[in-house]
Structure formats: C-alpha cells, structure tokens
C-alpha cells in the first residue's frame, strides 16, 4: 500500500511507515494513492466478520503484511461482536460498543496496537495521546501490559464523563495518565509540542494514537461491511448511513468503504454545535469557532483532523458530493431525540441520538437508514439518566472500573511540566 501526504505530494510512504509516523511533513495526513474496488461484494458479504475483515484489510494494505499474520491480528483485535438492531420501520442501529471499553474506538485502537506490536518488535515505544473521552480508554486497554510499550494519556480534567475517565485512569502498570487543567485542545497542543521536540521523540520512540493514524481508519472500514451483511437482502438496494462526527475519522472510513465497493448510497456526517464542517458545506468557508462543550463530548472538536481525507474523496469525485450531507444538531434537539428514541424502547446516548437525527432530516423515504451507536449508553450514565428521567443498567466492566481508584496525576497545561513528569516516570 502506498500513501501520499495530502499537504506534500512529494512525501509518499508505505503502510508501515504511515503507522509508525502518524502525521506527515507540515502536519499533513496520509491517504492511500490508489483505492481499488473489491471484487464480488456479494460473496464477501456472506463471510463471517473476522474472515471478511481480513480480506478487506488485505486488499487495502496489500502484500506488506502476510495474509496469515494479518488474519491472526484481526482475530485478536476484533474479538467482540458488532450488532445491527432494528429500531423502527426504516432505521437500523449499528451497535459498535460491545468491545472492552464500550465505544467504537476499540476497533481502531486494538488493530493499531496489533500493527505497532508487529512493526516495533524489540524497540521501545511510547504512545502519547490526548483524549476527548473515548480514545484514551480504547488505547489504554489495547496496549495494557504489552512489552516495551508505555502509554501516556492526557485528558481535560472535569470535561469527560466519570465512566470514560475511570476506564483508563484505574489501570496503572504501563498506562500513565495526567488530568490537565484546561480543554481538549490544550491537551492536543501539548501532544503536538512533544512531537516537535526531537529529544523527547528520539528518547521515547514517540508514537501518537489519535485518529490520524491510518491503521485505526482502515480497521473501521470493516464494520460498515458487517452492517450491510446483517441487513436483510431486500433492504440493501438504497442505503443511507449517518455517522456522529467529531474528528471525521469514522465517516472517512465509511467513505473509503464506499469507494472500494461497499453498497452505501448516501452518507450523513452529523455534528453537535461544533459545526465547522456543516458551515463549510453550506458556505464554502472554513472558519472554525472556539470549541464549545456539549452532551456529546467526544465530538467537541472544531478543527477536525480527518477532514482533508474526506475532502480529497469529494474533490476527486470518488464519492459524489451530492450524496454527502452534514448538519449540526443542537443540544436541545439532542435531548428531544434521545426521548423520541426511548419511546421506541431503545436507549441512545447523546452521540447516537445525533446520528439518528441526521437520518430523520437527510434520508428520503425509499432508503434504508443505518445510524451508528458509537458508545454504550452507560458511558454517559449521568446525562442519559437525567434526560430520560430513569435509571439505566451498568455493565459489569464499567462498574468494576468505577469501583477502583483514579491513578491520574494533576498537571497544568505546561509543556515543561509534562516533559519532566514523563522523564521522571519512564527513566
């Protein structure tokens, strides 16, 4: 597989290099130079999830990874189910929260851990990442107790849910957490600074685990095929998928899927009030506002890192602009929709409700709708219970994490403090 830096087309890299470096020169993201269609989609959809996912990833990545190695990696990474649940007459929910940290980030995080484990054999690696809520837990669990790997996670103190936080700050071992006084953007800025610091980079063997990493993105392509495989055949003619979007990685994976032959006709990338992309689609102007806090905190992103990848597929016509929708859903509407879905006996947390609203607004009557449940409702227990005025069940993994003590250390948003803390911890 060859990838090109979307900000500098002189920089072309292999899949291995793209995974190891994350971001290219000038902060450019890597994108495959050639996305070839898969053959015989119908036969592919007949296969079991893990086997089909191996075929898809092998098609995308090519001979850089031997197929039997890849098969083992996929089997270990995707060791939990994906479920498509009918919610009403024309809409299905794709539940992506049955992994160890109850959010879709487990797919990308676990496959990325497999790739780094393979590529960095013997070398020391430090994964440094900022989290807006769910990446931290997925990455922490994926790398927990892996030899030669340390994970450093920065999160904005008080701005993520207790369940989100406890899922990674209670692990200990090779997982080191810092509660930063500031916003997600402040955490992200500290991470960026570390990547510009050659001393730190070399000594620690730094790698980031954010959704920029191509291995995470490619892994996510696989569950869209699983959604179609579980959809009754007579409902596959016209399919409209709605993805709750923050950094636009998930919807980018859906679009890559479509480019290689996934039978999805229309895509909605639905956001909360952090609406840089919807405003851009409407006006042609890219003008991010300051990030605002919302109920769907994992989408509180105003400068989506993955947008250049989506844009490249729209610009080249690989995905038809007219079939791409992006709108924003207000806080008030998010809560109303949560109650509307609950009236159909389905509990949706805020991100999922936003995806559902995207279908309600964008989908035509003929199409079958699929909206993504990106997190388990219990991960947002406080807000779900408040909005629905009822108690919800707590899965055991979450209850166990909640019962443990938080091991994170407080930190101000100061790079020198971060640097000395990391060096003190790791050397």
Ligand X SMILES: *Cc1c(COP(=O)(O)O)cnc(C)c1O
Residues within the interface to ligand X (CB under 6 A): 103, 105, 133-134, 211, 244-250, 298-299, 351, 374-375
Which phi and psi angles does 29 have, rounded to 5°? -95, 150
In the complex, the smallest distance separating the C-beta of residue 58 from ligand X, rounded to whole angstroms, is 23
Q: Which is nearer to ligand X, 55 or 305 (CB)?
A: 305
Q: Which is nearer to ligand X, 242 or 374 (CB)?
A: 374
Alpha-helical segments (H) within 83-242: 105-119, 135-143, 162-169, 184-195, 198-204, 214-230
In the complex, the smallest distance separating the C-beta of residue 244 from ligand X, rounded to whole angstroms, is 5
Q: Which is nearer to ligand X, 24 or 304 (CB)?
A: 304
Q: Which is nearer to ligand X, 109 or 182 (CB)?
A: 109
Among the listed residues 226, 237, 258, the one whose alpha carbon sits nearest the alpha carbon of residue 372? 226
Q: Which is nearer to ligand X, 250 or 268 (CB)?
A: 250
In the complex, the smallest distance separating the C-beta of residue 308 from ligand X, rounded to whole angstroms, is 14
DSSP string of 91-115? EEEEE---STTSBTHHHHHHHHHHH
Measured CA distances, 214 to 2, 6, 222, 226, 283 (Å): 12, 13, 14, 20, 29
In the complex, the smallest distance separating the C-beta of residue 185 from ligand X, rounded to whole angstroms, is 14
Q: Which is nearer to ligand X, 200 or 387 (CB)?
A: 387
How many whole angstroms separate alpha carbon 248 and alpha carbon 374? 13
How many whole angstroms separate alpha carbon 132 and alpha carbon 168? 13
How many whole angstroms separate alpha carbon 164 and alpha carbon 170? 11
CA torsion through residues 222, 227, 230, 232, sign: negative
In the complex, the smallest distance separating the C-beta of residue 351 from ligand X, rounded to whole angstroms, is 4
Q: Which is nearer to ligand X, 55 or 210 (CB)?
A: 210
Q: Which is nearer to ligand X, 201 or 279 (CB)?
A: 279
In the complex, the smallest distance separating the C-beta of residue 248 from ligand X, rounded to whole angstroms, is 5
Task: State both tokens at 177.
Answer: 């957490």
How many whole angstroms separate alpha carbon 135 and alpha carbon 368? 30
Work out the end-to-end distance of the chain between its first and last CA atoms, rounded to an integer number of angstroms. Answer: 36
DSSP string of 300-324? --SS-TTHHHHHHHHHTTSS-GGGE
In the complex, the smallest distance separating the C-beta of residue 168 from ligand X, rounded to whole angstroms, is 13
Measured CA distances, 9 to 12, 306, 311 (Å): 7, 17, 16
How many whole angstroms separate alpha carbon 381 and alpha carbon 375? 11
Q: Which is nearer to ligand X, 67 or 303 (CB)?
A: 303
Among the listed residues 245, 257, 402, 395, the one whose alpha carbon sits nearest the alpha carbon of residue 325? 245
In the complex, the smallest distance separating the C-beta of residue 199 from ligand X, rounded to whole angstroms, is 31
Would you say 126 and 143 are in contact if contact means Cβ atoms under 8 Å apart? no
How many whole angstroms separate alpha carbon 146 and alpha carbon 142? 8
Q: Which is nearer to ligand X, 134 or 150 (CB)?
A: 134
In the complex, the smallest distance separating the C-beta of residue 32 from ligand X, rounded to whole angstroms, is 18
In the complex, the smallest distance separating the C-beta of residue 389 from ligand X, rounded to whole angstroms, is 22
């Amino acid at each position: 597989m060859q990838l090109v830096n979307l900000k500098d087309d002189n920089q072309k890299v292999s899949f291995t290099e793209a995974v190891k470096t994350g971001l290219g020169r000038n902060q450019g993201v890597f994108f495959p130079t050639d996305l070839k269609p898969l053959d015989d989609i119908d036969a592919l959809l007949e296969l079991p999830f893990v086997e089909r996912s191996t075929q898809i990833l092998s098609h995308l990545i090519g001979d850089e990874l031997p197929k039997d190695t890849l098969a083992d990696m996929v089997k270990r990474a995707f060791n939990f189910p994906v479920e498509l649940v009918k919610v009403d007459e024309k809409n299905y929910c794709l539940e992506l929260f049955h992994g160890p940290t109850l959010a879709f980030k487990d797919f990308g995080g676990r496959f990325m851990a497999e790739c780094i484990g393979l590529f960095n054999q013997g070398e020391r690696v430090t994964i440094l990442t900022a989290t807006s809520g769910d990446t931290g837990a997925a990455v922490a669990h994926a790398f927990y107790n892996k030899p030669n790997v340390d994970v450093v996670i920065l999160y904005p103190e008080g701005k993520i849910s207790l369940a989100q936080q406890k899922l990674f700050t209670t692990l200990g071992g090779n997982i080191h957490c810092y509660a930063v006084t500031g916003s997600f953007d402040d955490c992200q800025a500290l991470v960026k600074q570390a990547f510009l610091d050659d001393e730190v980079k070399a000594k620690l063997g730094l790698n980031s685990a954010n959704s920029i990493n191509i291995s995470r993105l490619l892994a996510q392509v696989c569950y869209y095929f699983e959604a179609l495989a579980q959809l009754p055949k007579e409902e596959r003619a016209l399919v409209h998928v709605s993805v709750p979007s923050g950094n636009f990685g998930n919807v980018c994976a859906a679009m890559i899927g479509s480019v290689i032959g996934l039978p999805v006709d229309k895509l909605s990338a639905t956001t909360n009030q952090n609406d840089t992309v919807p405003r851009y689609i409407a006006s042609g102007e890219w003008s991010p506002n300051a990030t605002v806090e919302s109920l769907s905190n994992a989408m509180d992103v105003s400068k989506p890192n993955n947008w250049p990848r989506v844009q490249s597929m729209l610009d080249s016509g690989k995905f038809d602009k007219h079939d791409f929708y992006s709108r924003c859903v207000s806080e008030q509407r998010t809560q109303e929709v949560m109650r509307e879905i609950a009236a159909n006996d389905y509990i949706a947390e805020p991100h999922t409700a936003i995806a559902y609203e995207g279908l309600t607004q964008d989908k035509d009557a003929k199409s079958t709708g699929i909206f993504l449940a990106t997190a388990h409702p219990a991960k947002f227990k406080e807000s779900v219970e408040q909005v629905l005025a009822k108690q919800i069940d707590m899965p055991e993994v979450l209850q166990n994490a909640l019962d443990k003590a938080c091991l994170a250390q407080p930190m101000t948003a100061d790079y020198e403090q971060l640097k000395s803390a990391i060096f003190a911890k790791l050397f």
